[in-house]
């Protein structure tokens, strides 16, 4: 397990892993210790549940209107988070720009500040290491229209307005410029003039900028100018500057330690001078640097930890990934590193996660979007160890702003954020507010009467609070769902009494794997997935709301070998504490056991739920059949009679009562506990051996109505449901 895996859940896993090695026969001996541990951690898990995972997306609202409907400009330029959680946007066109601030703890934006001379080339809004946000731009000098000044305005931590602009230095009209700041407030600016890189520094708010220093002479022979430049300042104040020459493709790396008088060449910098290396450098929040570059259709990564001069051996982070369109890396709790992008060296999306414990990039394969045209990918660290990713996808006049959430190797289903009335959108931007909620902004356009693009305005959307999940809801729509496994993998089927539709996302599992909808194990208000592998290992995969796990995604190991159980039932809550539990049946004794959810990301030791269950061909999780607030159990005996066992709410069941005679002989799978009819009563879904799906609506008094066919459009012959 990686450090990321522990941190993603936000829970203490030590007692859970201690239970993982407990076999069914030995589980009784650890019950007291396990229950004591669970009690101590329940309060913390419950208190954090509401904020661990971003909730459903709210409605979109107008962030900034277009003052000139005849123009396609006046759009979104940047969106960043300040160190205190304030969110700042930059909008405008080639003439002027405006900044808008949403203070930490507020959902309202303050009156915009206008920057009438900031509409030119390479205007940047940058969130810096000292907690400030700075706006940097090139502006014409009033006394000479051929000269430009690099100007900087500062939003100090906690401030509600940017400062008056500072004049940093004379610069050319075009070219690279970058700003970076150390946590102590030391500020460094760099820019290029005809292939010469210049740098200035400022040691504090009241200090003056130093005179510009040339960091190199004229470009070397064969290289007229710089094709790519990037810059960062580490936690200790060390500045790292990287660029690549346009013609020779050589890569140059310089650094300057705090207090040093000059920039020096970086020792043993491992980035090769290959075509389109396009190096990007980022400061690690814990110290040191991460550098990414392109090399033969691979996104490569190397890092230098704090306090050392040694760079790690470059490793491929993602096949077909590229620094072109790559998001800034997101540092997950525990130190794991997340990057994403599109299209890279191929169409579609890609992402990668580096384990802090092993230094290995995880071989995840499930993309966040299956669309062939994915552009303008952005990412932000959001609450509960999640990452919210936004992008634009589509063709020509049908482009949409999309979003998905990543956690522990699992993606939520993509959500369209832009309005259905918008023909296409601009590049979306995402940032996190003070509570870790994602804030997304994007432009929306329509075709005008004369055929040109007309910008409607800049729109915004964020997530709302997350309610307790409905049992078996794995599409995050508040309704119970069905799992279906076939040749294309595991899919979620959602719908109503007349239609069942498969989601676009699927994950693959080995033949013979038991996969069950479970419930919320880790308290993040997202339903998780139970898996028993063919060799017997039992595990629960905590997932992001609306997502499906993959084999390599994070999981909680329940037992090394549950092959002694011939039935495993995801029963919902049978112990009366509001948490989903598991029921198992011993193949040798016919005894029924309950594994109660401990509320801290694992299970209590098993407890006896009943005896004499060995004669039943099938055990079925039923949900609450009679409306008493307690989940029940169904069982089919050797004579094909269907029986109901009423739940007591304490992990046991009352004596059986007959539901149907001569029932279920043609069924290969039966799933209970779903309310497909929408009447608040638990229904039954059954698959027969001819590939048809049937619905028995619940009566709400313990029984069911006669069956009717459902999901006619789907060929169920090769699908197993759970």
Q: How confident is the model at residue 112 (pLDDT cuts 50, 70, 90)?
A: very high
Between 416 and 333, where is the model more confident? 416
User: How does strand 489-495 pair with strand 500-502?
Assistant: antiparallel
Radius of gyration of the chain (CA): 29
Asked if 453 contacts 72 with a C-beta cutoff of 8 angstroms, the reply is yes
Residue 52 has pLDDT above 80, yes or no: no
pLDDT at residue number 439: 97
Answer yes or no: is 567 within a domain: yes
Nearest-angstrom CA–CA distance, 374 and 379: 14
pLDDT tens per residue across span 431-481: 999 999 999 999 998 887 776 778 889 999 999 988 888 888 888 888 888
Most confident of 58-62, 137-141, 449-453: 58-62
Asked if 153 contacts 206 with a C-beta cutoff of 8 angstroms, the reply is no
Nearest-angstrom CA–CA distance, 685 and 586: 26
- The CATH number given to whatever domain includes residue 213 is 2.120.10.10
- Residue among 241, 246, 199 at smallest CA distance from 225: 246
pLDDT at residue number 42: 34
Average pLDDT over residues 210-229: 84
Residue 46 has pLDDT above 70, yes or no: no
Average pLDDT over residues 288-294: 96
pLDDT at residue number 49: 39
Q: How confident is the model at residue 20 (pLDDT cuts 50, 70, 90)?
A: very low
Residue 144 has pLDDT above 80, yes or no: no
Exposure string of 385-402, with b = 16+ CB inside 10 Å and e = fewer, is: bbbbbbbbbbeeeebbbb
Average pLDDT over residues 288-317: 94
Residue 514 has pLDDT above 70, yes or no: yes
User: How does strand 642-647 pair with strand 653-660?
Assistant: antiparallel
- Residue among 325, 242, 357 at smallest CA distance from 289: 242
Residue 50 has pLDDT above 60, yes or no: no
Name the DSSP class of 57.
B
Residues of the chain with pLDDT > 70, as a percent, come to 90
Q: How many CB atoms lie within 10 A of CB 670?
A: 23
Answer yes or no: is 127 within a domain: no
Q: How confident is the model at residue 498 (pLDDT cuts 50, 70, 90)?
A: low
Q: How confident is the model at residue 1 (pLDDT cuts 50, 70, 90)?
A: very low
- Tell the residue number behind the tokens 């594994």, with chain if given: 595
Q: Tell me which residue range forms the domain holding 498.
A: 482-721
Residue 604 has pLDDT above 50, yes or no: yes
Last residue within a domain, chosen from 287, 318, 349: 318
Q: How confident is the model at residue 24 (pLDDT cuts 50, 70, 90)?
A: very low
pLDDT at residue number 630: 94
Nearest-angstrom CA–CA distance, 524 and 546: 13
Average pLDDT over residues 360-378: 85
Average pLDDT over residues 85-95: 91
pLDDT at residue number 195: 87
Answer yes or no: is 166 within a domain: no
Average pLDDT over residues 189-211: 91
Tally of domains within the chain = 2
Residue 162 has pLDDT above 70, yes or no: yes
Answer yes or no: is 620 within a domain: yes
Poorest-pLDDT segment among 361-365, 560-564, 594-598, 608-612? 361-365
Answer yes or no: is 369 within a domain: no
pLDDT at residue number 296: 84
**Range 503-507 contact pairs with CB under 8 angstroms and sequence separation of 24 or more:** 503/413, 503/475, 504/370, 504/413, 505/366, 505/370, 505/411, 505/413, 505/547, 505/548, 506/548, 507/366, 507/548, 507/549, 507/550, 507/551
Average pLDDT over residues 404-408: 91
Length reported for the chain: 722
Peptide bond into 250 cis (omega under 30): no
Average pLDDT over residues 89-111: 92
3-state secondary structure of 364: coil
pLDDT tens per residue across span 663-689: 888 899 999 988 887 788 888 999 998
Poorest-pLDDT segment among 124-128, 197-201, 445-449? 445-449
Nearest-angstrom CA–CA distance, 562 and 393: 44
pLDDT at residue number 224: 67
Most confident of 156-170, 193-207, 218-232, 357-371: 156-170
Residue 96 has pLDDT above 80, yes or no: yes
Average pLDDT over residues 336-359: 88
Q: How confident is the model at residue 69 (pLDDT cuts 50, 70, 90)?
A: low
Answer yes or no: is 530 within a domain: yes
Asked if 326 contacts 320 with a C-beta cutoff of 8 angstroms, the reply is no
Q: How confident is the model at residue 310 (pLDDT cuts 50, 70, 90)?
A: very high
Q: How many CB atoms lie within 10 A of CB 134?
A: 24
Name the DSSP class of 467.
P
Q: How confident is the model at residue 522 (pLDDT cuts 50, 70, 90)?
A: confident
Between 7 and 703, where is the model more confident? 703
- The CATH number given to whatever domain includes residue 530 is 2.120.10
Distances (CA, A) of 426 to 63, 74, 372, 400, 453: 14, 11, 18, 9, 12
Q: How many CB atoms lie within 10 A of CB 268?
A: 9
Q: Quick one: tokens of 244?
A: 């690549």
Average pLDDT over residues 387-393: 95
- Mean of the per-residue pLDDT values of the chain: 86
Nearest-angstrom CA–CA distance, 266 and 283: 15
pLDDT at residue number 130: 92
Residues of the chain with pLDDT > 90, as a percent, come to 54
Distances (CA, A) of 232 to 283, 290, 487: 6, 10, 48
Residue 519 has pLDDT above 60, yes or no: yes
Torsion of CA 636, 637, 643, 647, to 10 degrees: -80
Nearest-angstrom CA–CA distance, 363 and 361: 6
Residue 175 has pLDDT above 90, yes or no: no
Nearest-angstrom CA–CA distance, 62 and 461: 9
pLDDT at residue number 234: 95
Last residue within a domain, chosen from 318, 340, 365: 318
pLDDT at residue number 18: 28
pLDDT at residue number 642: 93
Asked if 568 contacts 582 with a C-beta cutoff of 8 angstroms, the reply is yes
Most confident of 2-11, 31-40, 286-295, 407-416: 286-295
pLDDT tens per residue across span 642-658: 999 999 999 999 999 99
Q: Quick one: tokens of 137?
A: 């731009």
pLDDT at residue number 8: 30
End-to-end Cα, the chain, rounded Å:
28
Q: Quick one: tokens of 370?
A: 């299956």
Asked if 647 contacts 632 with a C-beta cutoff of 8 angstroms, the reply is yes
pLDDT tens per residue across span 540-571: 999 998 888 888 888 989 999 999 999 999 99
pLDDT at residue number 415: 92
Last residue within a domain, chosen from 261, 292, 318: 318
């Amino acid at each position: 397990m990686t450090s990321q895996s522990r941190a993603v859940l936000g829970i203490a896993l030590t007692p859970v892993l201690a239970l993982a090695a407990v076999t069914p026969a030995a589980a009784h001996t650890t019950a007291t210790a396990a229950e004591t541990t669970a009690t101590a951690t329940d309060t913390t898990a419950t208190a954090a549940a509401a904020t661990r995972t971003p909730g459903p997306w709210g409605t979109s609202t107008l962030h900034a209107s277009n003052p000139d409907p005849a123009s396609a400009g006046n759009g979104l330029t940047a969106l960043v988070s300040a160190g205190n959680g304030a969110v700042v946007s930059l909008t405008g066109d080639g003439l002027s720009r405006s900044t808008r601030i949403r203070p930490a703890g507020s959902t309202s934006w303050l009156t915009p500040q206008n920057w009438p001379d900031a509409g030119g080339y390479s205007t940047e809004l940058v969130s810096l290491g000292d907690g400030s946000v700075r706006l940097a731009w090139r502006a014409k000098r009033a006394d000479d229209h051929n000269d430009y000044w690099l100007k900087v305005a500062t939003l100090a931590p906690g401030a509600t307005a940017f400062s008056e602009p500072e004049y940093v230095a004379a610069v050319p009209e075009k070219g690279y410029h970058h700003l970076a700041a150390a946590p102590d407030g030391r500020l460094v600016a760099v820019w290029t003039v005809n292939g010469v890189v210049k740098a200035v520094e400022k040691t504090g708010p009241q200090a003056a900028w130093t005179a510009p220093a040339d960091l190199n002479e004229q470009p070397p022979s064969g290289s007229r100018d710089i094709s790519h430049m990037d810059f960062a300042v580490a936690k200790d104040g060390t500045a790292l500057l990287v660029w690549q020459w346009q013609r020779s493709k050589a890569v140059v790396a310089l650094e300057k330690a705090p207090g040093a008088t000059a920039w020096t060449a970086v020792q043993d910098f491992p980035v090769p001078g290959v075509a389109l290396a396009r190096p990007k450098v980022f400061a690690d929040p814990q110290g040191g640097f991460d550098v990414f570059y392109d090399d033969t259709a691979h996104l490569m990564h190397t890092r230098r930890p704090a306090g050392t001069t040694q760079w790690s051996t470059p490793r491929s982070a993602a096949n077909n990934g590229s620094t072109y369109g790559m998001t800034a890396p997101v540092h997950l709790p525990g130190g794991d590193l997340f990057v994403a992008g599109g299209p890279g060296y191929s169409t579609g999306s890609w992402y990668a996660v580096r384990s802090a414990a092993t230094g290995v990039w995880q071989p995840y394969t499930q993309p966040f979007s299956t669309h062939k045209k994915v552009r303008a990918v952005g990412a932000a660290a959001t609450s509960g160890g999640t990452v919210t990713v936004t992008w634009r996808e589509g063709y020509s006049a049908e482009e949409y702003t999309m979003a998905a959430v990543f956690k522990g190797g699992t993606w939520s289903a993509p959500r369209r954020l832009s309005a259905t009335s918008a023909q296409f959108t601009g590049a979306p931007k995402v940032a996190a507010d003070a509570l870790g909620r994602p804030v997304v902004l994007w432009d929306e356009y329509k075709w005008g009467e004369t055929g040109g693009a007309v910008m409607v305005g800049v729109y915004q959307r964020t997530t709302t609070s997350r309610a307790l999940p409905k049992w078996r809801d794995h599409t995050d729509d508040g309704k119970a769902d069905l799992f279906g496994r076939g040749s294309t993998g595991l899919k979620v089927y959602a719908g109503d009494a007349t239609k069942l539709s498969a989601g676009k996302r699927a994950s693959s599992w080995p033949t013979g794997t038991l996969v069950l909808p479970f419930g919320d194990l880790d308290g993040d208000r997202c339903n998780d997935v139970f898996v028993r592998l063919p060799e017997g290992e039992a595990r629960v995969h905590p997932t992001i709301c609306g997502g499906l796990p993959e084999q390599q995604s994070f999981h909680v190991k329940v037992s090394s070998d549950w092959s002694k159980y011939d039935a495993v039932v995801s029963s919902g809550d049978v112990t009366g504490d509001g948490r989903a539990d598991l029921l198992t049946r011993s193949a040798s004794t016919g005894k029924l056991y309950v594994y109660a959810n401990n509320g801290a990301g694992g299970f209590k030791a098993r407890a006896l739920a009943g005896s004499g269950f060995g004669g039943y061909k099938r055990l079925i999780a039923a949900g609450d059949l009679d409306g008493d607030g307690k989940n029940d159990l169904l069982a089919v005996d050797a004579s094909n009679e269907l029986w109901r066992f009423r739940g007591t709410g304490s992990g046991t069941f009352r004596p059986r009562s007959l539901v149907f005679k001569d029932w279920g002989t043609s069924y290969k799978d039966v799933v209970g506990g779903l309310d497909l009819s929408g009447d608040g009563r638990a229904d039954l879904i059954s698959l027969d051996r001819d590939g048809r799906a049937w619905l028995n609506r619940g009566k709400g008094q313990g029984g069911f109505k006669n069956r009717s066919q459902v999901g006619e459009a789907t060929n169920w012959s090769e699908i197993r449901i759970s």
